[in-house]
């Protein structure tokens, strides 16, 4: 018995090491510290973890013939940028949670198919107060919001705590248990939230394009405002609020504006600015309605004692650069001439070309696994045009030379959403369009960029709420090898036949 137990432990250890490993030299890739206040789920939060890396050890699809396409249509309120998986209910199943501009949905995927089992309307005016962000907590609680902000009409952003009407019943109605009104504290429109490692809700407001300060704050899950701090804009043209933010295990979070990257610290009692690094994120790039500096949520890179600790993101220049800033500046770092000392490196992205004045050409955040980054050319909402600008690239951070290096670029594929990297299948995944109306799902070999998986999703020419159009959503891999992502008013599943 002792011998068997030892072999079992060794076997499980090898499986764990294998599941966490990826092609990054001969090293084992360390995953970010798990946030104990998020659900026990393969995909509990946006970008999967607090570092916003959008990478997973769960294997995704490899052989297209082993998968079929399931589509759930009829979701009112448009697309949901974040589709997350709950932890298991007592009956063993997980649900998909979606929150779009007007509704919150619970979607079951059971023996009756992919279907809506409950919904709750949050807002009736989606054009005026368009929002996507939401959070999951433990015990099947989650948080969503209405970003409406019009002080003249005394309308302010509200945050809602939601639960199942019947505890532990996945099919029960959704109920609003509590509401937090930001107007009570005279806080601007709030669109970005995160769950820190103490289980508190972190928020950051926009600043009305430089007219107001940005307010950052901490809220308990019981909706007590624990702390807040205002960050004044530099001049009248620094914009806060376009991007979400990562949170590290020390409860610091990282905000990008049009002029700088900031680390905001929380010690449990007070908020303070830990550091700020200045950089011209706009450059010669677009400055339209949705082009406000960097288009990307910053992503944290580097885990473990003594390793490089970085923040990576793309700038908004006409030909975008991928940037790295030091979270911890090495003592012997001499700096890059003419740049802020925290700028660790940058590399021009070969597949990142300005396509309009409305969006950045790199709008979707960098996905990270180990010291490798995947990022793709953005095309806006594909249903609005006939042509697609293609390009996916992998960039490696050389920890010995402290420079970015191009690993590969694939200029034959359009992946329009936030890419998902799987160490389990050694692939990077995303969807895009090949002609005017035909949409496909792709998997590229993580080592070479070679196309390995190509599956036709469907054909649709609708410009608005096109069911196959991924305009920047995440791709969720579950623990059974299936992939889910949101289209326009839809949920799409790549379902394993095995």
DSSP string for residues in 349-379: EEEEE---SSS-SS-SPPEEETTEEEEE---
Give the pLDDT score at 416: 84
Give the pLDDT score at 384: 54
Residue 383 neighbours by CB under 8 Å, 6+ apart: 460, 461, 462, 463, 464, 466, 469, 488
Give tens-digit pLDDT for 39-80.
999 999 999 999 999 999 999 999 999 999 999 998 988 777
Mean pLDDT for 11-35 is: 53
Under the banding of pLDDT at 50, 70 and 90, the label for residue 207 is confident
Q: Kindly state whether residue 23 falls inside one of the protein's structural domains.
A: no
The enclosing domain of 267 has a CATH number of: 2.140.10.10
Mean pLDDT for 2-27 is: 37
Average the pLDDT over each of 11-25, 114-128, 279-293, 362-376 and give the range with the smallest value. 11-25
Q: Kindly state whether residue 371 falls inside one of the protein's structural domains.
A: yes
Three-state SS at 9: helix
Give tens-digit pLDDT for 35-46.
999 999 999 999
Residue 186 neighbours by CB under 8 Å, 6+ apart: none
Q: Indicate if the pLDDT at residue 107 is higher than 50.
A: yes
Q: Indicate if the pLDDT at residue 198 is higher than 90.
A: yes
Record the tokens describing residue 154, joined without a space.
């005394």
Residue with tokens 């070999």: 445
Q: Indicate if the pLDDT at residue 20 is higher than 50.
A: no
Q: Kindly state whether residue 82 falls inside one of the protein's structural domains.
A: yes
Give the pLDDT score at 28: 60
Mean pLDDT for 491-497 is: 94
Under the banding of pLDDT at 50, 70 and 90, the label for residue 377 is confident
Instruction: Specify the number of domains making up the chain.
Output: 1
Domain that holds residue 479: 45-496
Q: Kindly state whether residue 303 falls inside one of the protein's structural domains.
A: yes
Mean pLDDT for 351-360 is: 72
Q: What is the mean pLDDT of the chain?
A: 88
Give tens-digit pLDDT for 395-437.
999 999 999 999 999 999 989 888 999 999 999 999 998 887 8
Higher pLDDT, 214 or 8: 214
In eight-state DSSP terms, residue 269 is: S
Asked if 306 and 299 touch (Cβ cutoff 8 Å), the reply is no
Asked if 299 and 371 touch (Cβ cutoff 8 Å), the reply is no
Q: Kindly state whether residue 238 falls inside one of the protein's structural domains.
A: yes
Q: Are strands 420-422 and 55-56 parallel, antiparallel or unpaired?
A: parallel
Mean pLDDT for 376-392 is: 75
Give the pLDDT score at 344: 98
Give the pLDDT score at 126: 66
Helix, strand, coil shares of the chain as percentages rounded to 5?
A: 5, 40, 55
- Distance (Å) of CA 229 to CA 187, 196, 239, 465: 10, 17, 17, 38
Q: Kindly state whether residue 347 falls inside one of the protein's structural domains.
A: yes
Asked if 81 and 243 touch (Cβ cutoff 8 Å), the reply is no
Mean pLDDT for 18-31 is: 50
Angle value at C-alpha 20, between 17 and 22, nearest 5 degrees: 110
Give the pLDDT score at 81: 77
Q: Indicate if the pLDDT at residue 21 is higher than 60.
A: no
Mean pLDDT for 290-300 is: 81
Mean pLDDT for 123-129 is: 69
Asked if 215 and 227 touch (Cβ cutoff 8 Å), the reply is no
Q: Kindly state whether residue 51 falls inside one of the protein's structural domains.
A: yes
Q: Kindly state whether residue 248 falls inside one of the protein's structural domains.
A: yes
DSSP string for residues in 169-235: -TTSPEEEEEEEEGGGGT---EEEEEE-TTSPEEEEE--TTTTS-EEEEEE-TT--EEEEEEE--ST
Give the pLDDT score at 289: 63
Phi, psi of 457 (to 5 degrees): -85, -45
Give tens-digit pLDDT for 143-192.
999 998 889 999 999 999 999 999 999 999 999 999 999 999 999 999 99
In eight-state DSSP terms, residue 32 is: P
Three-state SS at 7: helix
The span from the first CA to the last CA of the chain, in angstroms, equals: 34
DSSP string for residues in 384-416: G-S-----EEEEEEETTTTEEEEEEEE-S----
């Amino acid at each position: 018995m002792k011998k068997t137990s030892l072999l079992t432990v060794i076997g499980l250890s090898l499986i764990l090491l294998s599941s966490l490993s990826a092609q990054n030299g001969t090293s084992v890739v360390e995953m970010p510290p798990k946030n104990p206040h998020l659900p026990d789920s393969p995909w509990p939060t946006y970008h999967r973890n607090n570092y916003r890396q959008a990478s997973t050890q769960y294997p995704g699809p490899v052989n297209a013939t082993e998968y079929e396409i399931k589509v759930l249509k009829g979701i009112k309120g448009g697309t949901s940028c974040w589709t997350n998986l709950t932890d298991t209910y007592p009956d063993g199943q997980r649900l998909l949670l979606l929150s779009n501009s007007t509704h919150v949905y619970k979607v079951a995927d059971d023996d009756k198919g992919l279907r809506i089992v409950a919904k709750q309307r949050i807002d009736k005016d989606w054009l005026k107060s368009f929002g996507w962000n939401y959070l999951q907590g433990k015990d099947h609680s989650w948080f969503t919001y209405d970003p409406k902000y019009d002080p003249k009409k005394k309308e302010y952003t509200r945050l809602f705590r939601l639960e199942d009407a019947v505890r532990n019943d996945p099919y029960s109605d959704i109920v609003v248990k509590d509401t937090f009104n930001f107007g009570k504290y005279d806080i601007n429109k709030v669109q970005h939230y995160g769950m820190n490692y103490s289980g508190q809700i972190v928020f950051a407001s926009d600043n009305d394009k430089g007219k107001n300060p940005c307010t950052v704050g901490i809220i308990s899950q019981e909706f007590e405002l624990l702390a807040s701090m205002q960050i004044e804009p530099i001049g009248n043209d620094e914009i806060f609020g376009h991007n979400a933010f990562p949170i590290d295990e020390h409860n610091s979070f990282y905000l990008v504006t049009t002029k700088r990257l900031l680390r905001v610290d929380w010690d449990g009692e007070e908020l303070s600015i830990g550091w700020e690094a200045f950089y011209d994120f706009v450059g010669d790039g677009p400055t339209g309605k949705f082009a406000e500096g960097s288009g990307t949520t910053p992503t944290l890179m580097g885990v473990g004692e003594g390793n490089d600790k970085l923040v990576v993101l793309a700038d908004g220049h006409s030909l975008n650069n991928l940037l790295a800033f030091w979270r911890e500046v090495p003592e012997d770092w001499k700096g890059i001439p003419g740049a802020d000392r925290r700028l660790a490196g940058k590399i021009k992205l070969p597949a990142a070309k300005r396509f309009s004045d409305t969006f950045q050409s790199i709008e979707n955040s960098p996905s990270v696994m180990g010291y490798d980054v995947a990022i793709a050319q953005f095309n806006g909402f594909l249903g609005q045009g006939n042509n697609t600008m293609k390009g996916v690239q992998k960039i490696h951070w050389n920890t010995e030379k402290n420079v970015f290096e191009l690993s590969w670029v694939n200029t034959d594929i359009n992946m329009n959403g936030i890419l998902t990297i799987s160490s389990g299948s050694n692939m990077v995944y995303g969807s895009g369009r090949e002609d005017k109306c035909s949409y496909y799902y792709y998997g590229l070999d993580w080592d070479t960029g070679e196309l390995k998986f190509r599956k036709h999703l469907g054909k649709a020419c609708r410009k608005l709420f096109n069911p196959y159009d991924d305009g920047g959503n995440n791709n969720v891999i579950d623990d059974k090898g299936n992939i889910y992502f949101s289209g326009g008013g839809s949920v799409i599943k790549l379902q394993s036949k095995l």
